[in-house]
Structure 1
Amino acid sequence: MDTIRTAPGAVDLVLFADLFDAHAADIVARLNEEDAETAAAVLAHLPLERAIDVFDRPELARAGDLLIDLPHERAGEILKGMADDRAADVLRALDDEDRSELLKRVDFDSAWPLKRLLAYPEGTAGSLMSTEFVSVPATYTVAETLRHIRDVERTRETVYAIHALDPKTRALLRVVTLRELIIGEPEQPILDLAPDREPITVRADVDREEVARLISIHDLLSVPVVNERQQMLGIVTVDDVIDAILAEGSEDVQKFGGVEGTTEPYLGTGFFSMYRKRVGWLGVLFISEMLTASAMQHFENELEKAVVLTLFIPLIMSSGGNSGSQATSLLIRALALGQLRLRDWWRVALRELPVGVALGASLGVIGMVRIAAWQGLGIFDYGPHWELIGLTVGVGLIGIVTFGSLAGSMLPFLLKRLGFDPASASAPFVATLVDVTGLIIYFSVALLILRGTLL
């Protein structure tokens, strides 16, 4: 075992001896806990095939930076051995200068497919696809196809789907599964084994969510990516889609909390990066909350006359924000799964309106019962007009929860129509919106019910 201890801060590889025979996933987990210098030193001394397996794992943090830190020849060998789609993902995370530097470390034949994949926008089928797929002329027999698979198996992303191409135009005609191929007779044409229907395909510019939907509903292991002439550009495998959707899901969860989406591990995110991703939303929300203060100033006289109303402001505001957050979460999920289209906004509004009224009425009854119980048990004295105060709270909750449900359900449609990610309709944003309008609704109801008594 090599030991590097020639300079202060150098790495003693003896401490990582157990990793040299470990599974790639275990190596990734260990290296993610180490600093970049240590991780790069270990990767530089791993057997080449094992190092390639490690870099092929999407869970490896700072993969691009680690490649840059490796010796030139070693980085080139690893990049060349990686699956094209994974290598493209790693390169896409780097800046232009580092990306160009790494591409110089591989030969033209290896760099060309990577450059082609990098040309596709992130989040599309083209950016996810692998160019390493199994294809044969449609005139091949079962025996010829099996022989071809044995020859190319090590260089292909998957061999479970065999793509039969027109010998002249190279257009995709049929897709044959490995199971169908194995049960065929050796001299049988592979087209005889293929289902008698056009294969499910996508274009390179299709969003990854649509690719995931097709793979899910058709129970596919991969989906071919084709051009306008039905010629194959690559395939998107189910594991690529899962990795992409998991990454997008993590970003969406972060956006729900009012944080700019990031794929970096929490501990791997620097101070300034963490600050930048959080300060923007906090600033927007803080400025928005200033409107809440303005609304309360507008009702200053009412507050002075009926201080008891202030006791229920947190209750009122949180209930509206919670109902809005519920509706937003449901609608964002439905839009992401393709269950709703933009033109369905009015159907959603008609659905959320009675739901919001029912939810608000339920909370209103609970609030009124609570006020009556506290008054009757002598826990708190709301004054001679406690019944009207209870009615104010109950009616106010109906109005605020209904508005919250409507606002929370319509905001994702609005953002999607404007070209923004609906996940940006985060819970804090909806809550802030409902806070301002909720105060206006609450005090407007109070003016109507308590006029001539407390107000």
Structure 2
Amino acid sequence: MQDISETITKETLAGQNGDLAHARAPEIVDALNAREPADSAKLLQSLPPEKAIEVLDLPGLDSTCEILAELPQDTAVSLLSGVSDDRAADIFKELVEPLRTTLLNGLNPETRNVISGLLAYPERSAGSIMTTEFVSVPSSWTIAEVLHHIRMVERTRETVYSIFVTDPVKKTLIQAVPLRRLISGDPHASVLTAAPARKPLMISPEADRMEAARLISRYDLLAVAVVDGPGHILGIVTVDDVIDAIVEESTEDAQKFGGMEALDEPYLRISFLEMIKKRGGWLCALFLSEMLTASAMQTFQTELEKAIVLTLFIPLIMSSGGNSGSQATSLLIRSLALHELRLRDWWRVALRELPTGLTLGAILGVIGIVRITLWQTLGIFDYGPHWVLVAATVGTALVGIVTFGSLCGSMLPFILKRIGFDPASASAPFVATLVDVTGLVIYFGVAAVILRGTLL
């Protein structure tokens, strides 16, 4: 079956007037993403204005700024006037001058002021992703008046599932009432009779957007109110805004954890030079760090010349420490991101990782000893007359290296967060590189003790 996005694209660009008004907006977005910006602009123009606004309102649309640049100025302004305020603010953040100023000045004063206000909030804050298109009513209204008001303004609001009740004089937030409770309430009763007994949850506009995500997730909300100091409601963060933020944060963390800077655009859209810039810096830093491994091996050159058999287990030793460190780092980064842990919990983590590392190291150590024993006794490989001591060296070293890797990998996110860096910067390659160097020192230190007087 032919993909519907391909059908839409081909029919529209060929000049055929298909009934695109009934096509789903995400499918049209796929069609736009598959085309060059100039062709996408033509496709967008061919849609009914309501459908074009719905498409532009989706965050999954790639090259939004390039598409807007291809549109006539009045068309672009008209579409931007129709999309939700928070989405419009996101688009204006990406626009470059002079197009940004031109389109912003083309909006009506009220819309322009709202978007300018949203753009003033810090990036990644709750204020930066909130919408000002919500339903707010005074507490003096009846349920019937509120329902009538909802019917009148529904098309201009992003969501009507939560209605925010304010003090008629102070204009401060009093309650948040679910729509379903209004529908089932007495029409002649006060709107406050439908409100839950608990106070509404609120958040500051300067708070991190992931704090809004945690509130919505923990209390199963559709939206959370954003208020200023006195308690005036400035906007709301909806569950769909939170989902978009979570996807963006997760993508960035995954890219950072892979040992590179986060990409600002989809993979196929980013330029070659930008890709080199994002990956090259981290790769060079990791390469320079790995040079320490070579330096460590040079330090133990004499030991290596005396006991060549030790070199057979260097890859095993290094990878085990790096793997244990990467495991601990992954667990801690996620726990810190979800606020399951605070900076003050570092000692609890250390006390937990110490026995964990010792146990995991002991397990790997036993496996290493068994492997050397089997290879020696079955005649697969001859580790020499002191193979028992070699096995003991490998087993003991694995206990120390895995324990150190677990401690190092668990403490590094705390250190980065304490000095103001994103814990996700503690990438797996970075941890592995750090543990590689120390792993060699531990390995040869153990060998110097156990093999002294025999191979060394």
Contact 2:177 2:194 in 1 (8 A): yes
Gaps of 5+ in 1: 1-10
Contact kept, 8 Å, 2:259 with 2:429, in 1: the verdict is yes
Determine the structure 2 residue equivalent to 1:3.
none
Q: Structure 1 counterpart of 2:87, which letter?
A: R
2:209 alignment partner AA: R
Question: Given the two structures, how large is their TM-score scaled by the length of structure 2?
Answer: 0.95
In 2, are the aligned partners of 1:16 and 1:42 still within 8 Å (CA)? no
Cα distance between partner residues in 1 of 2:393 and 2:95: 57
Take 1:147 and 1:376, find their aligned partners in 2: how far apart are those partners? 87
User: For this pair of structures, how many residues does the alignment match?
Assistant: 445
Q: Secondary structure at the match of 1:104?
A: helix
1:23-78 Cα distance to aligned partner (Å, 9 max, x none) = 11001112111111211221122211111111111110111221122110000011
Q: Which position in structure 2 is the counterpart of 1:4?
A: none
Q: Please list the CA deviations of residues 310-361 of structure 1 after superposition, one character each: whole Å capped at 9, or x if unmatched.
A: 1111111001000000000000111111110000000000100000000000
- In the TM superposition, 1:358-369 aligns within 5 A as 358-369=359-370
What is aligned with 1:342? 343
Whole-angstrom distance in 1 between the partners of 2:452 and 2:98: 69
Distance in 2 between residues matched to 1:16 and 1:391, nearest whole Å: 78
Residues 180-233 of structure 1 deviation map (CA, whole Å, 9 limit, x = unaligned):
100111110001111122210000011111111111111110000000010000
Residue 272 (structure 2) aligns with = 271
Question: Counterpart of 1:385 in structure 2: which amino acid?
Answer: H
Contact 2:13 2:43 in 1 (8 A): no
Q: How does 1:357-396 map to 2 (within 5 A)?
A: 357-396=358-397
Q: Matched residues in 1 for 2:436 and 2:15: separation?
A: 59
Deviation at residue 102 of structure 1 after TM alignment: 2.2
Give the distance between the partners of 2:105 and 2:98, measured in 1 at CA: 11
Partner Cα separation in structure 2 for residue 166 and residue 436 of structure 1? 63
Structure 1 SS opposite 2:455: coil
Residues in 1 aligned to 2:402 and 2:99: alpha-carbon distance in whole angstroms: 51
Q: Is the 8 A contact 1:204 1:226 kept in 2?
A: yes
Q: CA deviation at 1:122?
A: 1.3
CA distance in 2: counterparts of 1:302 and 1:146, whole angstroms: 83
Separation (CA, whole Å) in 2 of partners of 1:260 and 1:47? 40
**Equivalent-residue separation in structure 1 for 2:278 and 2:266 (angstroms):** 13
Segment of structure 1 superposing worse, 224-233 or 28-37: 28-37
Matched, 1:435 2:436: yes
The residue correspondences of 1:117-136 to structure 2 (distance < 5 A) are: 117-136=118-137
Distance (whole Å) between structure 1 residues aligned to residue 260 and residue 98 of structure 2: 28
Alpha-carbon spacing, 1:421–1:168, altered in 2? closer, same or farther (3 Å)? same
- Percent identity over the alignment is 61
The one-letter code matched in structure 1 to 2:276 is Y
Question: 5+ unaligned residues in a row in structure 2: which ranges?
Answer: 1-11
1:404 corresponds in structure 2 to: 405
Which one-letter code corresponds to 1:358 in the other structure? T
Alignment partner, residue 103 of structure 1: 104
Corresponding residue for 1:453? Answer: 454
Task: Quote the offset at 1:17 in angstroms.
Answer: 4.7
Q: What is the TM-score normalised by the length of structure 1?
A: 0.96
Amino acid at match of 1:281: W
The code of the aligned residue for 2:36 comes to: D
Greater alpha carbon shift after TM alignment, 375-384 vs 61-70 = 61-70
SS in 2 for 1:236: strand
Alpha-carbon contact 2:210-2:245 (below 8 Å) kept: no
CA deviation profile, 1:120-153 (whole Å, cap 9, x unmatched): 1111100010000000111000110011101100
> How far apart in 2 are the matches of 1:97 and 1:42?
24
> What per-residue deviation string (whole Å, max 9, x for no partner) do you get for residues 366-424 of structure 1?
00000000000100000000001111100110111001000100010011111111111
Specify the alignment match of 1:316 in structure 2. 317
Q: Partner amino acid for 2:421?
A: F
For residues 96 and 174 of structure 1, the distance between their equivalents in structure 2, rounded to whole angstroms, comes to 42
RMSD value over aligned CA atoms?
Answer: 1.3
Deviation, structure 1 residue 13: 3.9
Verify the 8 A CA contact 2:227 2:235 in the aligned structure 1: yes
